[in-house]
Structure 1
Amino acid sequence: MKDVRRPDRDVGTDRLGAVSESVIREMTREAHAHDAINLSQGIPDVDEAPEAIKQAAKDAIDAESQYTITWGLPDLREKVSERYADWKGVEYDPETEVTITTGTSEALVSTMLALAQDGDEVIYFEPVYESYIPASRFAGAEPVPIDMTDDLDLDVEALADAAETASLLVLNTPMNPTGKVFTREELEAIEEVVFEHDLLVLTDEIYEHIAYSDDYVSPVSVGELADRTVVCTGMSKTFSVTGWRVGFCLAPEYLSRELRKVHDYTTICAPTPFQRAGVEALSLPDSYYEDLADSYERRRDVLCEGLADAGLDPVVPDGAYYVMARYPTAESDVEFSYRLVREAGVAVVPGSSFYTDPDRDADWVRFTFSRDESTIREAVDRIDEHRWW
C-alpha cells in the first residue's frame, strides 16, 4: 500500500546521488557500539587542550555569547593576521582577507561553493581526506583525482594534463590520510602548473603545526601562489579542540569576497566564546608548537613500531597524526576493519574510503595517533593479542 505521508517522487538532488555519509564517523559509531579504542577519527583526549584556552572559553561564556561580526571577532582576525604573517610570510588584511569560519570543514565547503562553477573540474590527490569529494559535488563540480598511492610522489605530468580542463586544485599538506608533506620542489612545480593553466588553489593546512622535520613548507610561501590561494586551517588539531569549530580562512580580497557570501548565509559566525579563546590560543609561545610536534612524533613511533611488531606494514608519516598500514590477509579493507573493531576492540578506517571510486583492491587501513601514549599502547597490545594473520 502506498504511504501517502511521503511524496510520490524521489527526494534528494542529483548532486547527492554519489554522496554517502562519512565512513570515518561511521567507524567512530562502531567504536562506541563495541566499547573499542577509537583510532579511526582524529579526536584527541580531553586533557590535550591547553588549560589557558579552556579557561578563556569559560570566561567568555559570561561576557560574549552573542553573534560576532559575520567574518569573525575583530580581535581574533587581527591575531590570525599577525601570527600567519610570521608563520607563512604572507600579509593578510584582517578586515578583508581573514574570515573566521565554523571549523575548517566549513571553510572548505564555503570555498568550494564560492569558487567552483557547475560542471567545473576540481583536482586533488588520492588517497584523499573524504570531505573533498562531496564538497566538490555539492558545488556541482566534477572531481578529478590523481592517484599517488604507490610512492606518494607528485606526478607533475599527470597534474599538468588534468589542469588543462580544470579550474581548482585542492592541496592538503601535511596530508590526511597518508601524512605526506609536499616538498618545496613539488610546490614549485605545482606553482608553475597553476599559473600556466590559470588554476585557483584551495589548501587545507589544518595539520600545519604537526610536522616531523624541517621540510614542511606552506604552499603560500612559495613564489606567487598566495595570490591564487585560499588557505583553510583552524584551531581543531593544533589546540586539540575539535568540537569547538573555529576555522581560519585566509585569501586575497577578491577570493575572500566570494567565499564570505556563502559563509554569511550558512553559519553566520563561528561560536563566539571559542573565538575569544582563539585569541588566547594564538598568544601561546612558539615552544607550544615545538612541544606539540615532538609529542605527536613520539606517539607516531609508538604506533608504527607496535603495528610492525603485530605483523602489519605501516607507512611512517612525515606529518599529521594518521598512519596508513597494510595488512596481510585476503579480506577486503572493510571486512578487516569491522573484524578488528569487533574482535580486537580497536576501530580504524578502511583505506578504500579515501578514494573517489572506492578501491575494491585496497589492502590498507588508517589509524590515528591523536590519542595519548598509554591508549595507543593498549590499542597495539589488543591488536597483537587478537591478531588472526
Structure 2
Amino acid sequence: MPNPSPFSRPIGSHRVDGMRESVIREMTREAHKHGAINLSQGIPDEDETPATVKQAAKDAIDTSSQYTITWGLPELRDAVAGRYEEWKGVRYDPETEVTVTTGTSEAVVATLLALCDPGDGVIYFEPTYESYIPAAQFAGGRLMPLDITDGLEIDPDALREAATDASILILNHPHNPTGNVFTRDELELVAAVAAAEDLIVVTDEIYEHIVYTDDYVSPVEIDGLADRTVVCTGLSKTYSVTGWRVGFALAPEPLSAELRKVHDYTSICAPTPFQKAGVEALSLPEDYYSALSASYERRRDLLYDGLQNVGLDPVKPDGAYYMLTRYPGAEDDTEFALRLIREAGVAVVPGSSFYTEGSAEWVRFTFSRNEATIEEALGRLNTNRFW
C-alpha cells in the first residue's frame, strides 16, 4: 500500500494531470516479473552493437568522463552534419544547427517545450508513439490526433482542416508502431500544408536506416520542408545502443537556437563517452546500413510468418522493427497482452497505448531481438495458445 500523502492540498501540476506512465515500459517490467520473452519494448540484443563502437565507448571512459560543450562534442556534431548531408542532401551547420541531446526523446520534448505555446494545436498521426502525447501536454499544447489506422494513409482533407488551427505537426517516419513508410506524395502534401499554414514540423526519424522498401524518402528531402523542420534522430536504433541515450536535433538556426535553451537547462549534455563512440559509429562503411536493414527484414519475415501460423493476423511493415498484430475474439487489448505475458510467456504492447484515448483491437510485437529469440517466442505462442 502506498504511504498516505502528508500534503493537505492536491499535488501534481497540470502538466502531468491525467497522464499515465509508459505502457511500453510497464510491459517490460511485466515481462521481467513473469520471465516472459520481451517482444514489447524495442530493445536489441547486446551483440547487435558493432564491436568497434562498443570499444570506442570503453576507451572513452578512461579519457572523457566530463561535460562536453552543451550542444555536443564538436567532432560528433561535425560527423552528424557531414553524414546527414551525404544521406539526405541537406547541409546543417554543426555550430548552430546540430544539437546532441540525451536521446531522441529529449530532442522531441525540448523542441516542443521551446516552440509550442500553451493552447497551440499539435497534430500527430494515430496510432502514435506514446511519448508524443505527454510531450505535447508538457508544453501545454492542444492535442490534435488524426487517425490513420484504416489504410495507414494520411487523409488530405483531414490534414488540411486540422492545420488551419494548429502550430506544430509531428511526423514519425518510418512510423512506430505500424512500421508504415509514408509515400513521397504524402510527404509533399505535408510540405504544402505546412507552408500554407505556417506550421513547424517535428520529425522523428530514429528508424531512418531500418527500411524494407525502395520508396523511402526522408521528409527533409522534400523541397522546402527542411526550412521549417526539426529533425529528431540519434544512435539508439541504427547502432543498437538504446541505453546510451545519444540523440540529435537538426534544424535551421532560428529553430535550433530556441530548442537549445531548453536542452541547456535540462540535460546539459549527453553522456560524453557515448558521444565519443558516436563519432566511431558514424564512420562505419555504407554496407553496414544495408546489412542492418537486410538483417531486420529476415526477422520481420520470420515473425510475420510465425504469427500467421499461430492464428494471429499481423500487418507486414515497410520500416522500423515493430509489427501491428490483430487477434481473434473480443478480448480487451490490455487483457490480451497481459495474458500473453502470463500464460504464453511472451510480452507485447497493447494497441490502446498508441492512442490518445479509447481501446484498440491489436497488439504490437517487436522483432528487434535475434532470430533465435524470435523463434523461441513463436514456439511459446504455439505451445501456449489460448486464442
Asked if 1:380 corresponds to 2:349, the answer is: no
Give CA-to-partner distance per residue, 1:13-40, whole Å, 9 cap, x none. Answer: 1221121100000000000000000000
Q: CA deviation at 1:228?
A: 0.2
Kindly state the Cα deviation for residue 366 of structure 1 after the two structures are TM-superposed.
0.2
Which residue is 1:117 aligned to?
117
Matched, 1:13 2:25: no
More displaced 10-residue stretch of structure 1: 262-271 or 183-192: 183-192
Residue type of the partner of 1:331?
A: E
Cα deviation 1:52-102 (Å, max 9, x = unaligned): 000000000111100000000000000000000011110000000000000
Match of 1:150 in 2: 150
Structure 2 CA distance, aligned partners of 1:5 and 1:210?
Answer: 47
Runs of 4+ residues over 4 Å off in structure 1? none
Match of 1:198 in 2: 198
* Partner SS, residue 325 of structure 2: strand
Partner of 1:35: 35
Q: Which letter maps to 1:221?
A: E
**Matched AA of 1:237:** K
Map Cα deviations across residues 140-176 of structure 1 (whole Å, 9 max, x no partner): 1111000000100110110000000100000000000
1:134 aligns with 2:143: no
Q: CA deviation at 1:4?
A: 9.3
Matched position secondary structure for 1:256? helix
Superposition deviation, residue 308 in structure 1: 0.4
From 366, 369, 372, the equivalent of 1:368 is 366
Instruction: Name the CA distance, whole Å, in 1 between partners of 2:5 and 2:327.
Output: 48
SS in 1 for 2:202: strand
Aligned with 2:233: secondary structure?
A: strand
Give the secondary structure class of the aligned counterpart of 1:202: strand
| Aligned CA distance change for structure 1 residues 353 and 4 (closer, same or farther; 3 Å) | closer
Q: Which residue of 1 aligns with 2:273?
A: 273
Q: Deviations over 1:293-313 (max 9, x none)?
A: 000000000001000000000
Per the TM alignment, residue 325 of structure 1 is displaced from its structure 2 partner at its CA by: 0.3
**More divergent stretch after superposition (5-14 vs 235-244):** 5-14
Identity of aligned residues (%): 68
| Residue 172 (str. 1) matches residue 172 (str. 2) | yes
Please give the secondary structure, in 2, of the residue aligned with 1:230: strand
Residues 223-262 of structure 1: pairs in structure 2 closer than 5 A: 223-262=223-262
- Distance in 2 of aligned mates of 1:79 and 1:69: 15
Classify 1:280/1:4 alpha carbon distance in 2 versus 1 (closer, same or farther; 3 Å).
Answer: closer
Deviation of the 1:388 alpha carbon: 1.4
For residues 169-189 of structure 1, the C-alpha deviation after alignment (integer angstroms, 9 at most, x for no partner) is: 000000000000011111011
Distance 1:63 1:5, change over 3 A: same
SS at match of 2:269: coil
For 1:201, what is the secondary structure of its paired residue? strand
Identify if the C-alpha distance between structure 1 residues 82 and 327 changes in structure 2 by more than 3 Å, giving closer, same or farther.
same
AA paired with 1:265?
A: Y
RMSD between superposed Cα atoms in Å: 0.9
CA distance in 2, matches of 1:358, 1:250: 34
In 2 relative to 1, CA 203–5 (structure 1 residues): closer, same or farther, beyond 3 Å? closer
Aligned residue-pair number: 385
Aligned-partner residue type, residue 368 of structure 1: T
Query: Equivalent residue for 2:331?
Result: 331
Distance 1:52 1:265 in 2: 33
Q: 1:329 deviation in Å?
A: 1.7
SS in 1 for 2:19: coil
Residues 107-166 of structure 1: per-residue CA shift (max 9 Å, x gap): 000001001101101000000000000000000111100000010011011000000010
Distance 2:190 2:277 in 1: 36
Q: Secondary structure at the match of 2:145?
A: strand
Other-structure match for 2:87: 87
Paired amino acid for 2:380: R
Q: Take 2:326 and 2:274, find their aligned partners in 1: how far apart are those partners? A: 39
2:266 maps to amino acid = T
Tell me the residue number matched to 2:318. Answer: 318
Cα distance in 2, alignment partners of residues 53 and 62 from structure 1: 15
Aligned residue type for 2:381: I
Q: 1:329 & 1:346 partners in 2: Cα distance? A: 19
> Aligned AA for 2:178?
T
Q: Which 5+ residue runs of structure 2 have no aligned equivalent?
A: none
Q: Equivalents in 1 of 2:181, 2:283: separation in Å?
A: 26
Distance 2:128 2:4 in 1: 42
User: Where does the alignment leave 5 or more consecutive residues of structure 1 unmatched?
Assistant: none
Q: Match for residue 222 of structure 2?
A: 222
Question: Which digits, 9 at most, give the CA deviation of each residue in 1:251-287, with x for residues without a partner?
Answer: 0000000000000000000000000000000000000
